Chain A
Amino acid sequence: MGSGYEASVGMEVHVELATKTKMFCRCPTGFGGEPNTRVCPVCLGHPGTLPVPNREAVEMVVKTALALNCQVPTDSVFHRKNYFYPDLPKGYQVSQYGETNPIGYHGWLEIRPKGREPKRVKIRRVHLEEDTGKLIHTAEGGSGVDYNRAGVPLMEIVTDFPPDITDPEEAKEYLVQLRLLLLYLGVTDGKMEEGSLRCEPNISVRPLGAATYGTKTELKNLNSFKSVQLGIEYEVGRQIQALERGEAVLQETRGWNESTLISYPMRTKETESDYRYFACPDLAPMRFTAETVERVREDLPESPRARFDRYRRDLGLSDYDAGVLTSEIEWAEFFESALGQGVDPKLLCNWLTGDTARMLNESGLAIRDSQLTPSHLADLVRMIESGEINSKVAKEVLEEAFKSGAMPSETVRSQGLAQISDDGFIVEEVARVIAENPGPSEQFRSGKEQVIGFLVGQVMKATQGRANPAKVQEEMRRQLG
């Protein structure tokens, strides 16, 4: 950031909820598809239609509000936000207005940007509304509207003012942590590229120590974490340059161009829009009793932060491992599920973050797209723990599981890969190796301790690695001693 200035970034995040049906009708939700194939009279705003709220969506917002440490009011009302736009079927959007009316208000989220102190970002509101349709422009130059998205439940999460976020890195970290939390809660698929998670930061800069905040610009079209960070960085720089040149920053909405990495003006906000909010007379107020709220709170899944702490404290994992296993939802879920099958956490962690990660990396597959399931890993680790297979065999059967989806214990059984712990067999093999290698055997007897490795290796080689190395060594020492 330019020296002598500081930035303020307010974050407005829209989240499409992962419900099966829309907010006020029973049309399915989804992404893509032929335009206007997931519509009905209700979400098209036909005359005489009425909304029936989606309970699942309401519960998801209550969950999110509580996970973000928000207050939940006893009564929460839906309002109508009135404006004309072709993608808005009814001429109003059902939303929520007011300071203490939204399902969640006055909360916070803790962020830990790399190498900095943790920081609480205050949340002003978490509210529920309906999404709009989408304008489409045809190749022939015509335009139309696709209402498939119209009426999809949308949660809006807005940070407090004055903003706690003061630079692009924090903004990105806020979004990363928020998305991860939402994924843990299971309330969205969080796909930024499909618009399930849309972030519209508002940015202003002011000379260090200035009492008032500068003019804000709002940034749109940020479709990835990287865009969020780069877009805000660019915008902060642009505003500082304008101020340095003695120019005014205009209050406007700007778009982010991902290929040129430049923001461009979309529209100027000369006047505040008057949305004529009023309570929607078609919908009864939502009531949240203290018991309901407590029940939801008790049922909240573990947060990423709490899980990180538990992995370090209770499972004895390193900061690095705990971080890897909690910061991506697929890994977190995979690890938890395998752990739930009662295997050693450290061994599991090693096999998951080691060989499994390497294979996925090499193949370019995401873990959910591979043939590996938590049961494969649990099965593998269980055999390693019991000494049924050694790590060399383990690697092989893991590769096999990765390639064919075969269960590791099944591979071990069908290919006869189990370790040989049969005493009689090992006694015979050790005796044979001693007889065939008189030189090394003599060296060991005369005190050259390290030769034992070579002798044990001969037994392992002869058994194709299946002999239990610990037992072989024990027997070797006995016979040479």
Chain B
Amino acid sequence: MTGWTARETAAALRRREVSAVEVAEFFLDRIQRLDLQIGAFLAVSREWALQQAELAQKTIDDGSAGPLSGIPVALKDNLTTREIPTTCGSRILEGHRPVYDAHVVERLAQAGAVILGKTNLDEFAMGGSTESSAYGVTRNPWDTDRSPGGSSGGSAAAVAAGFCPVALGSDTGGSVRQPAALCGVVGFKPTYGRVSRRGLVAFASSLDQVGMFGRTVEDAAFLAEAVSGHDPGDSTSIPFEPVSLEPVPLKGVRLGFPKQLRDSAIDPDVARVVDAALASLRKEGASVVEIDLPSIELGVSTYYVIAPAEASSNLARYDGIRFGPRVDGDGHVGTVASTRGKLFGHEVKMRMILGTYVLSAGYYDAYYHRALQVRGMMAAEFEKVFQEVDWVVSPTSPRTAFRLGEFADDPLALKAMDLCTVPANLGGFPSLSLPCGASDGLPVGLLLTGPAMSDGRLLGTAHSIESALGPFPAPDLG
């Protein structure tokens, strides 16, 4: 059953070859048996999962099943769930039980999905290795001495390890696509606004987007279709139909590779794997041309001004007064200071301080305002390029999975690895990573980014690429 995709599982459930409860039990048992060595989950709710499975089975039996009925799903622990605490990987939300379900959680319930549990993440999704979680590390199923990437490392590892066929994460600067690449699965970030952010605990509101993990492009699309679409409860939600895969043959597809990424910090082995993949796409009739995106090199610095600025404001609400644990101090100021001082981790504090700084009087123009200008410039450059090519392609991550602790003393080097993924967040573009080969036994991801609202065609193109490149294996965990 680990080999089954979500679509195959759905088909087997409809044919009554297996029951929803059997499917749920299979994955719950697998998690129980193997997650000790991975650490993908922060919480698994066996009881709730089986309740959902029984309900799903009833709908299958009486013919009222939804598209995802009986399909197990894992959620990154920054999506609110009434049934399971939502911690964001932070002590400041330890044991926090939200009083409402995220929009995507409501949608999953309507579609009949079976939520197994909540997955690990960098604290408040800030990081690229899942190591800044306050609740322990997650290991890469391909090599447990290595990181699964981040910040949605738990969801990526869970899908790679066969703990669930599909999972949700969130992508602010690459937090779905980069761990997908490092774990050898598909990661999809839709156009900003196509999935409601209601119930996604905010990190950087103008960049955050819920994203999907699957072993195949079709599965990521399957999940995207179920959770996307307009939500009047999110003012930035686009009033448009849900995302759905539109078939696109490879013949005639124009792929653009930014020349600025040629002579940059891309690992030569990663570059070789990506080049080989692009060569085989050429054989299928796609064209690959070099394109000019000068501002791409400013992406990371722009991102690390805008994201912390928004975060410094978004995270001001964690003061221990209305929810979550509190560390008492002297008066209101003292209590807020000790709660935040003791319960936020180092990375989060660093980013809030940075964000506070770039918004301060006297620095606003030099940093925040400037970053907004570059953001606009970069989006315009991409839009221009999209008139010449269908998709911008590159490696997803300049490197394959790195060793745990490798960047402990060099946080900036870890941030520099967001180079290829941040432009899609800054421009609000849909973007997808799919496995395109391996280097030293570690997966390499190919990144495709398209114009706003091209989600359906992006999925279709990625599906054709996936077929051309052949199936990507799963790691052997026993």
Known contacts A44-B322, A276-B356, A283-B235, A50 near B316 by CB under 8 Å: no
Let me know if A46 and B359 touch, CB within 8 A. no
**CB-defined contacts of A266 to chain B, threshold 8 Å:** none
Does B100 sit at the interface, judged by CB under 8 A? yes
**CB-defined contacts of B322 to chain A, threshold 8 Å:** 44-46, 89
Cα–Cα distance between A274 and B318 once the two chains are bound (Å): 20
Does B139 sit at the interface, judged by CB under 8 A? no
B187-216 CB mask vs A (1 if < 8 Å, else 0) is 000000000011111101110000000000
Does B168 sit at the interface, judged by CB under 8 A? no
Does A84 sit at the interface, judged by CB under 8 A? yes
**CB-defined contacts of A51 to chain B, threshold 8 Å:** 235
**CB-defined contacts of B206 to chain A, threshold 8 Å:** 281
Which of A34-68 touch B at CB < 8 Å? 41, 44-53
Does B317 sit at the interface, judged by CB under 8 A? yes
Among B4-12, B44-52, B91-99, B114-122, the one that faces the other chain is: B91-99
Let me know if B317 and A50 touch, CB within 8 A. no
A84-98 CB mask vs B (1 if < 8 Å, else 0) is 111001111000000
Let me know if A41 and B99 touch, CB within 8 A. yes
**CB-defined contacts of A410 to chain B, threshold 8 Å:** none
Secondary structure dominating the interface of B: loop
Does B2 sit at the interface, judged by CB under 8 A? no
**CB-defined contacts of B323 to chain A, threshold 8 Å:** 44, 46-47
**CB-defined contacts of A277 to chain B, threshold 8 Å:** 359
Secondary structure dominating the interface of A: loop
B94-138 CB mask vs A (1 if < 8 Å, else 0) is 001011101000000000000000000000000000000000000
**CB-defined contacts of B317 to chain A, threshold 8 Å:** 45, 47, 89-91
Known contacts A282-B235, A284-B236, A47 near B332 by CB under 8 Å: no
Does A223 sit at the interface, judged by CB under 8 A? no
Cα–Cα distance between A48 and B360 once the two chains are bound (Å): 25
Let me know if A47 and B98 touch, CB within 8 A. yes
Let me know if A276 and B233 touch, CB within 8 A. no
Let me know if B332 and A48 touch, CB within 8 A. no
Let me know if A41 and B100 touch, CB within 8 A. yes
- Closest B residue, CB atoms, query A53: B235
Does A82 sit at the interface, judged by CB under 8 A? yes
**CB-defined contacts of B336 to chain A, threshold 8 Å:** 84
B72-101 CB mask vs A (1 if < 8 Å, else 0) is 000000111000001010000100101110
Cα–Cα distance between A41 and B235 once the two chains are bound (Å): 16
Let me know if B80 and A47 touch, CB within 8 A. yes
Known contacts A41-B100, A47-B88, A278-B359, A52 near B313 by CB under 8 Å: no
- Closest A residue, CB atoms, query B205: A281
- Shortest distance between the CB of B133 and any CB in chain A (Å): 16
- Closest A residue, CB atoms, query B362: A274
B interface residues, how many (CB within 8 angstroms): 46
Which of B313-327 touch A at CB < 8 Å? 313, 315-319, 321-323
Let me know if B98 and A46 touch, CB within 8 A. yes
Does A293 sit at the interface, judged by CB under 8 A? no
Does B310 sit at the interface, judged by CB under 8 A? yes
- Closest A residue, CB atoms, query B336: A84
Cα–Cα distance between A189 and B317 once the two chains are bound (Å): 31
Does A466 sit at the interface, judged by CB under 8 A? no
Residue from B197, B316, B359 whose CB has the most chain A CB atoms within 10 Å: B316
Let me know if B233 and A50 touch, CB within 8 A. yes
Known contacts A50-B198, A90-B317, A276-B356, A282 near B236 by CB under 8 Å: yes
A interface residues, how many (CB within 8 angstroms): 30
- Closest B residue, CB atoms, query A278: B359
**CB-defined contacts of B232 to chain A, threshold 8 Å:** 52
Let me know if A274 and B198 touch, CB within 8 A. no
Cα–Cα distance between A274 and B359 once the two chains are bound (Å): 9
Let me know if A50 and B235 touch, CB within 8 A. yes
Let me know if B313 and A278 touch, CB within 8 A. yes
Does B163 sit at the interface, judged by CB under 8 A? no
Does A80 sit at the interface, judged by CB under 8 A? yes
- Closest A residue, CB atoms, query B79: A48
Does B368 sit at the interface, judged by CB under 8 A? yes
- Closest B residue, CB atoms, query A39: B322
Cα–Cα distance between A284 and B237 once the two chains are bound (Å): 10
**CB-defined contacts of B96 to chain A, threshold 8 Å:** 47
Does A339 sit at the interface, judged by CB under 8 A? no
- Shortest distance between the CB of B87 and any CB in chain A (Å): 10
Does A145 sit at the interface, judged by CB under 8 A? yes
Let me know if B321 and A145 touch, CB within 8 A. yes
Does B309 sit at the interface, judged by CB under 8 A? yes
Point out the residue from B79, B316, B333, B368 that lies within 8 Å of A91, measured CB to CB.
B316
**CB-defined contacts of A49 to chain B, threshold 8 Å:** 100, 198-199
B430-465 CB mask vs A (1 if < 8 Å, else 0) is 000000000000000000000000000000000000
Cα–Cα distance between A91 and B352 once the two chains are bound (Å): 13
Which of A262-298 touch B at CB < 8 Å? 272, 274, 276-278, 281-284
Cα–Cα distance between A47 and B101 once the two chains are bound (Å): 11
Point out the residue from B202, B235, B356, B359 that lies within 8 Å of A48, measured CB to CB.
B202
Cα–Cα distance between A84 and B321 once the two chains are bound (Å): 12
Does B61 sit at the interface, judged by CB under 8 A? no
**CB-defined contacts of B98 to chain A, threshold 8 Å:** 41, 46-48
Point out the residue from B233, B310, B319 that lies within 8 Å of A52, measured CB to CB.
B233
Cα–Cα distance between A88 and B7 once the two chains are bound (Å): 47
Does B234 sit at the interface, judged by CB under 8 A? yes
Known contacts A53-B235, A276-B359, A281-B205, A82 near B313 by CB under 8 Å: yes
Let me know if B319 and A84 touch, CB within 8 A. yes
- Shortest distance between the CB of B126 and any CB in chain A (Å): 15
**CB-defined contacts of B201 to chain A, threshold 8 Å:** 47-48
**CB-defined contacts of A86 to chain B, threshold 8 Å:** 319, 321, 332
Known contacts A41-B99, A274-B360, A92 near B235 by CB under 8 Å: no
- Closest B residue, CB atoms, query A274: B361
**CB-defined contacts of A282 to chain B, threshold 8 Å:** 202, 205, 235-236
Point out the residue from A41, A44, A48, A80 that lies within 8 Å of B313, measured CB to CB.
A80
Residue from A47, A51, A89, A145 whose CB has the most chain B CB atoms within 10 Å: A47
- Shortest distance between the CB of A134 and any CB in chain B (Å): 14
- Shortest distance between the CB of A56 and any CB in chain B (Å): 16
- Closest B residue, CB atoms, query A25: B233
- Shortest distance between the CB of B101 and any CB in chain A (Å): 10
B17-34 CB mask vs A (1 if < 8 Å, else 0) is 000000000000000000
**CB-defined contacts of B80 to chain A, threshold 8 Å:** 47-48
Let me know if A92 and B99 touch, CB within 8 A. no
**CB-defined contacts of A52 to chain B, threshold 8 Å:** 232-235
- Closest A residue, CB atoms, query B100: A41
- Closest B residue, CB atoms, query A46: B323
16 pairs, A vs B, C-beta closer than 8 Å: A41-B98, A44-B323, A47-B323, A48-B78, A49-B100, A49-B199, A50-B235, A51-B235, A84-B316, A90-B317, A91-B317, A91-B319, A274-B361, A278-B368, A281-B204, A284-B236
A-B residue pairs, 6 tightest by C-beta = A91-B316, A281-B206, A276-B359, A281-B205, A47-B201, A45-B317
- Interface, chain A (partner B; CB < 8 A): 41, 44-53, 80, 82, 84-86, 89-92, 145, 272, 274, 276-278, 281-284
Supply 15 further A-B pairs (C-beta < 8 A) apart from A47-B88, A48-B78, A91-B313. Answer: A46-B98, A46-B99, A46-B323, A48-B102, A48-B197, A48-B198, A51-B235, A84-B336, A85-B332, A89-B317, A278-B309, A278-B364, A281-B204, A281-B236, A282-B235
